[in-house]
A and B are shown apart, each in its own frame.
Chain A
Amino acid sequence: MITRTPVIDARDLSKTFGSFIAVNHVSFSVFPGEVFGFLGPNGAGKTTTMKMIQCVSPKSGGSLEVFGSEAGIYQRSIKQRLGVVPQETNLDTEFTCFENLLVYSRYFNIPRREAIRRIEELLRFVQLDEKRDVLIDRLSGGMKRRLVLARALINNPDLLVLDEPTIGLDPQARHLIWEKLKVLQAQGNTIVLTTHYLEEAERLCNRLVIMDNGKILVEGSPAALVSEHVGSDIVEAEHSPEVIACVEDMGIHYEVFGDMVQIFTDNPREVAKKLFDTCNPGRVFARRGSLEDVFLKLTGRVLRD
């Protein structure tokens, strides 16, 4: 294994609000060129972790280094190299797309001429060049998110932090954002993102962690996590006493979710055949295991919020 200098290095990082522990001794490293995901139900501590990385929220314990500098001390120099897409779209509604990026470029001390060149380039990149002089109120939700992404890129960041980049978007708008993130990834950018959308994590992330109650439950690549925790495939059958008796007989691992029985296996054909041969399973589905199965298995099906 080659040792690389991590872009983010967290050791025993904690964050408490009074007696509430939002982030509980988490350790992780993000390396250059990686897309690293934080997954977890509401209140898992994802956004709190993002805010500590962005140097806007002080940690309560442990250590957190970004670009090799302690996040709590070198805020200004770290933030100069960071691009942030916040969960809430906080564009200046009084300004046009172009003006939003221009005002933002000043905060990074980018000279005006250079800023204008970059803005035109970024507006083309997020396909908003035709909306250059349109006020924010006139943009769709997807356009606003793309503009926030462009804004986050204004300083050519060495690390891009995305908190729920596609929240509330329709599938078309979401796919367009994914496409842009894929381009950024291919260019070698380091990206950290949080998401609720497991498909998003599966498509984009090289590595990810699943968090719950402030702790990291597992870490790995999406494929490795799926094969480790659910196997390659899942066979689903209707939940009936016969089916349960059957799978118990077969001695394979299963779980009951509502009116379905799920069997995690690397051998879906054989399991399905056995089910049909030996019991009366009604409907049977076989499908690939997904990150969503890992997520639900680890964090449970109890509703959060």
Chain B
Amino acid sequence: MARGAYFPNITRSAWKVWRRNWDVFFKTYQVNFLPPFIEPVLYLLAIGFGLGMFVGEIDGVPYVEFIAPALIAISIMNSAFFECTYSSFVRMYYQKTFDAMIATPLALDEVIAGELLWGATRSFIYSSVMLAVLIAFGVVDLPLSLFILPFSFLAGLLFAGIAMCFTALTPGIDALNYPTFLFITPMFLFSGTFFPLDVLPGALQIIARGFLPLTQVVTVTRSLTLSEYSPYLLYSIVWIAGITVLFFFLSIHLMKRRLIV
């Protein structure tokens, strides 16, 4: 068994798990598509144009264009994170969907991999909708911004893996509020989203650049929407790729430890 624990047993069948979630999503698309439309519009109006009146420009960039890529990054984070925490937990614990799946030739590794791929897909879907809204408002550069589409899947997979680790470790659904408030909310505020990291005290800057996944994602989306190369871009992409692989396998391992007893 120890061997199986470190070499996940994953075949193309993981996409069948993904497909199941995809089918459910499009059965209930009326409730699923409205939030990603409304949210960026609200933020753009309130913070971009409202607060932006007082802020003016940051590093020569109009405030609304400064936060537009952050809104996409936050959407990538939230859609994958909430899908692979609360929604996955409901499927695992309340609906027993995972039990139904592993009674078939599917291995648990594939079930979890399928969930992670689906979380990433949700990030892709939501950020695509959001990108369309931002393009309509004319606050992002084209065509470079279109690279956000493939990037959102990779970044989504990063947050999906982190989320799935919390799901594997949480004693119950209520305890998932802790990572939400202690991890997601601080990231939402301190990842160079609404103000540049340079204004933070040195120690906080180091934490944000070294450990906060959203910082890396914002760095990439901002480089794309502003067509601006920053020295952090390459570092962020490598960081995201490495940590994504780490959490992908770690979450599968933790889930097997939880569910295969």
> Which segment of B19-27, B51-59, B210-218, B247-255 sits at the interface?
B19-27
Q: How far is the CA of A107 from the CA of B100 in the complex (A)?
A: 10
Decide if A90 is an interface residue (CB 8 Å cutoff).
yes
Q: Is the CB of B105 within 8 A of A57?
A: no
Q: How far is the CA of A58 from the CA of B1 in the complex (A)?
A: 8
For this complex, into which size category does the number of interface residues on chain B fall?
A: 20 to 34
Complex interface: chain B residues within 8 A of A80 (CB):
105
Q: How far is the CA of A80 from the CA of B100 in the complex (A)?
A: 13
Q: Are A86 and B28 also in contact (CB < 8 A) when A17-B261, A99-B23, A106-B19 are? A: no
Q: Is the CB of A79 within 8 A of B105?
A: yes
Q: Is the CB of A107 within 8 A of B96?
A: no
Decide if A293 is an interface residue (CB 8 Å cutoff).
no
Decide if A304 is an interface residue (CB 8 Å cutoff).
no
Decide if B99 is an interface residue (CB 8 Å cutoff).
yes
Q: Is the CB of A104 within 8 A of B104?
A: yes
Nearest-CB distance from A89 to chain B (Å)? 8
Q: Is the CB of B105 within 8 A of A107?
A: yes
Nearest-CB distance from B226 to chain A (Å)? 40
Q: Are A103 and B103 also in contact (CB < 8 A) when A88-B96, A90-B96 are? A: no
- 0/1 per residue, B100-119, Cβ < 8 Å to A? 11111111000000000000
Complex interface: chain A residues within 8 A of B1 (CB):
58, 72
Complex interface: chain A residues within 8 A of B230 (CB):
none
Complex interface: chain B residues within 8 A of A92 (CB):
20, 24, 95, 97, 100
Decide if B13 is an interface residue (CB 8 Å cutoff).
yes
Complex interface: chain B residues within 8 A of A77 (CB):
105
Q: How far is the CA of A80 from the CA of B23 in the complex (A)?
A: 23
Among A88, A90, A91, A99, the one with the most B-chain Cβ atoms within 10 Å of its Cβ is A90
Complex interface: chain B residues within 8 A of A86 (CB):
96, 99-100, 103
- Of A57, A84, A90, A93, which contacts B260 at CB under 8 A? A57
- Write the chain B residue with the least CB distance to A93: B95
Q: How far is the CA of A63 from the CA of B100 in the complex (A)?
A: 25
Q: Are A84 and B261 also in contact (CB < 8 A) when A90-B95, A93-B95, A95-B24 are? A: no
B:20-38 near A, CB below 8 Å = 20, 23-24, 27-28
Decide if A94 is an interface residue (CB 8 Å cutoff).
yes
- Write the chain A residue with the least CB distance to B28: A94
Complex interface: chain A residues within 8 A of B16 (CB):
106-107
Q: Is the CB of B27 within 8 A of A95?
A: yes
Decide if A109 is an interface residue (CB 8 Å cutoff).
yes
Nearest-CB distance from A69 to chain B (Å)? 14
Lowest 3 A-B CB distances belong to which pairs? A90-B96, A107-B104, A84-B103
A-B contacts besides A72-B1, A80-B105, A103-B19, 14 pairs, CB < 8 Å: A58-B1, A75-B107, A76-B107, A77-B105, A79-B103, A86-B96, A88-B96, A90-B97, A90-B99, A99-B23, A104-B100, A106-B19, A108-B104, A109-B105
**Interface set of A (CB-CB < 8 Å, partner B):** 17, 54, 56-58, 72, 75-77, 79-80, 82, 84, 86, 88, 90-95, 99, 103-104, 106-109, 155
24 contacts between A and B (CB under 8 A): A17-B261, A56-B103, A56-B260, A57-B260, A57-B261, A72-B1, A76-B105, A76-B107, A77-B105, A79-B103, A80-B105, A86-B103, A88-B96, A88-B99, A90-B95, A91-B100, A92-B95, A92-B97, A94-B24, A95-B23, A99-B23, A104-B104, A107-B16, A107-B105
